[in-house]
Structures are given as C-alpha cells and as structure tokens.
Amino acid sequence: MTTTTSPPRTGTTRPARRTRRRLAPWAFLSPAIALFVVFLALPILYSVYMSFRTEQVSGLGLGADSRTEVWNGFSNYAQSLADPEFLASVGRVGIYGLLVVPTMLGLALLFALLLDSRRTRARGFSRISIFLPYAVPAVISSLLWGFLYLPGVSPFYYVFDQLGWDVPSLFSSDLVMFAVANIAVWGGTGFNMVVIYTALKAIPSELYEAAELDGCTQKGIALRIKIPIVVPSIIMTSVFSMIATLQVFAEPTTLKPLSNTISSTWTPLMKVYRDAFVRGDLYSAAATSVIIALATFVLSFGFLRLVQSRAFGQEK
C-alpha cells in the first residue's frame, strides 16, 4: 500500500492572498473612479485651465491663423465679477434662496412631524403623495406649472374670470420670482421630508413613552425631543438646498419662452450657458462657472462651520 504526501506549503501563498485582498476593493471601485475622472475631474480641470485663457485676434480675423489662444491671467475673473448682468443674477438667486430654502425645509419638517404622529392615518399614501413631485423631472414640472401660470390656458385663471376676480399674472415682473420659487418648493419638499422622516423613525420609542409619563403633550414631544434630535438631518438638507439654489437653471430656462420677464441671464448658470453656447465666449463662461463653484463651496463650508461652532459653544 502506497501513500501520497502533499508538497509542503510555502509561505508565498499568504502574501499573494493579502495582495489580492488589498486590490479587490480597488477593482470594484475602478469603474466609478474612471467615470469620475473622465466625466467630472477632467472637465473641471479643463474649465479652470480655460478660465485663464482668451482668444487673440490678429489682422482682420479672416483665416485659420488669425485667431490664437493666449494666456489671460485673472482678467476673465475680473471681467465676470464686474459684469452688471452677473451681479444682478447673483442678487436674484439670493432672493430666490431666501424664498425657497426656509419655505421648503419648514414644510418638509412639518410634513415629517405630521407623518410621525400616532394620530396620522394613511401614512403610506401621504408619504408617497408628498414625495411624488420630487420624481418628476424639473423640465416637465416647469412646463406643467408654466401652463398653469399662463392666463390664456390656465384653468385657475378661467375660474378667477368667472368669479370676477382680477388676479395679476404670475409672469409679471413683481411675481415671477414667486412663480419660479413655487416650482422648486413643490419639487424639493418631498425629498427633504423623507430625509427628516427617516431620522424621526430612528428615535427610540422609549423616549416618547418617558415623556408621556412625565405629562408631556404631543406638541412638547415634537419641540423638545423630535426637532432637537433631527437637527443634523435639517443641517444636511439645508446644505443640499443651498447648493441646489445656487445651481438653479432648469426652471427659469424652461419658463423663459413663456414670459418676457425672465432674461437669458436671470441666474448665474443661465449667464454661463449664454456666454458659452450663444456668444461663443468659452473663456468668460469658464471663469464664471469657476466663480460659482467656489461660491458654492465657500457658502456650504461656511454654513457647516457656523453650525458646528454654535453646537460646540452650546456643549461647553
């Protein structure tokens, strides 16, 4: 009877396994990293590069060799910051943000508290109904609301006329800001509500029971327990809402053909689009886009630092 013996194990397999284990996460992340580099990182770097360049025309500008790309330094940035159209668009976005962010987050918090209440009925239907507008693309929702704003085709204005009410058009210069803000509030409240509502569902029920034993009402539980605990979620949704406010583009662009009160530079991103694809000034558009990106980062980071400093001061 013969027996076979396996060859002795060497120590080379363990380092190989360790290497494979270390490389496995990067193998799974490599598609996402490649897409991030190709479609996000490289375009950002190219925009920064283009923002420091300009086109120099020699002679009469006729011929392929008459236009050359040269270094322009910070001149594009200075030109963008001194542009009255850009400054006016920044002011409009600021007013737009003051209308949208507090209203949207206030409604989201209110709906989340109502859905979390024990007395609420049909929670599933209510939650889906509030969240459903967020699933509608911004272009489609802007078109829907745009036709509801037009006095000639809107059923609401027909009812107002039958009642004898003289209601001004929401596309007037005084109300167009509220018309655009209404679309953003209608579409964004559901997402923020779901975020806050998810944080509310994570609160242990023992806290509510202890508060009820102490004689606390539902209003007191909401003000003293629920809202303080979901403050981090409110801060997160506030940052997301501010970023979306600075990048508003789809709503006013879609409503622009329906109203004469919305110009092609109504928001900063609309001005970037006009400069790049209507006027063909890619260099100025790149500088303006970099300014918008830096402003978004500074505003978001500054808001987070302000909230953290206040929270740290209260803990002390």
Query: pLDDT tens digits for 94-135?
Result: 999 999 999 999 999 999 999 988 777 888 888 899 999 999
Q: Report yes or no on 308 lying in a domain.
A: yes
| Distance of alpha carbon 131 from alpha carbon 6, whole angstroms | 64
Would you state the pLDDT for residue 100? 96
Q: Over its length of 316 residues, how does the chain's per-residue pLDDT go in tens digits?
A: 455 555 555 555 778 888 888 888 888 999 999 999 999 999 999 999 999 999 887 665 565 566 788 888 899 999 999 999 999 999 999 999 999 999 999 999 999 999 988 777 888 888 899 999 999 999 999 999 999 999 888 999 889 889 988 888 899 989 999 999 999 999 999 999 999 999 999 988 888 888 888 888 888 889 889 999 999 999 999 999 999 999 999 999 999 999 889 999 999 999 999 999 999 899 999 999 999 999 999 988 888 888 877 665 565 5
Q: Do 51 and 188 lie in a common domain?
A: no
Q: Do 39 and 164 lie in a common domain?
A: no
Would you state the pLDDT for residue 68? 82
The label of the residue with tokens 């209608």 reads: 186
Number of Cβ within 10 Å of residue 111's Cβ equals 22
Strand spans (E) along the chain: 53-57, 67-71
Q: Name the domain count of the chain.
A: 2
Asked if residue 241 lies in contact with residue 105, where contact means CB atoms within 8 angstroms, the answer is yes
Q: Do 92 and 43 lie in a common domain?
A: no
φ, ψ of residue 67 in degrees (nearest 5): -115, 120
Would you state the pLDDT for residue 265? 94
Per-residue pLDDT tens for 236-251? 999 999 999 999 999 9
Contacts 24+ apart (CB under 8 A), 141-150: 141/183, 141/186, 141/187, 141/251, 142/183, 142/250, 142/251, 142/254, 142/255, 143/254, 145/179, 145/182, 145/183, 145/186, 146/254, 146/255, 146/258, 147/258, 149/179, 149/255, 149/258, 150/258
Range of the domain at 44: 35-57+67-73
| Distance of alpha carbon 251 from alpha carbon 24, whole angstroms | 43
DSSP symbol at 117:
S
Q: Do 42 and 96 lie in a common domain?
A: no
Would you state the pLDDT for residue 79? 94
Q: Do 39 and 147 lie in a common domain?
A: no
CATH of residue 154's domain is: 1.10.3720.10
Would you state the pLDDT for residue 211? 87
| Distance of alpha carbon 208 from alpha carbon 104, whole angstroms | 27
Number of Cβ within 10 Å of residue 92's Cβ equals 21
Q: Report yes or no on 187 lying in a domain.
A: yes
| Distance of alpha carbon 128 from alpha carbon 95, whole angstroms | 30
SS3 assignment for 23-43:
HHHHHHHHHHHHHHHHHHHHH
| Distance of alpha carbon 223 from alpha carbon 240, whole angstroms | 24
Would you state the pLDDT for residue 21? 84
Would you state the pLDDT for residue 106? 96
- Of the three residues 48, 73, 98, the one that is the final residue of a domain is 73
Q: Do 43 and 125 lie in a common domain?
A: no
Provide the terminal-to-terminal Cα distance of the chain, rounded to the nearest Å. 81
Q: Do 148 and 235 lie in a common domain?
A: yes
Model confidence, pTM: 0.86
Q: Do 39 and 110 lie in a common domain?
A: no
Q: Report yes or no on 133 lying in a domain.
A: yes
Would you state the pLDDT for residue 311? 63
Tokens of 171: 């596309």
Would you state the pLDDT for residue 288? 95
The DSSP-derived string for 225-292 is IIHHHTHHHHHHHHHHHHHHHHT--HHHHHHGGG-SSS-TTSSHHHHHHHHHHTS--HHHHHHHHHHH
Would you state the pLDDT for residue 104? 96
Would you state the pLDDT for residue 278? 92
Would you state the pLDDT for residue 5? 55
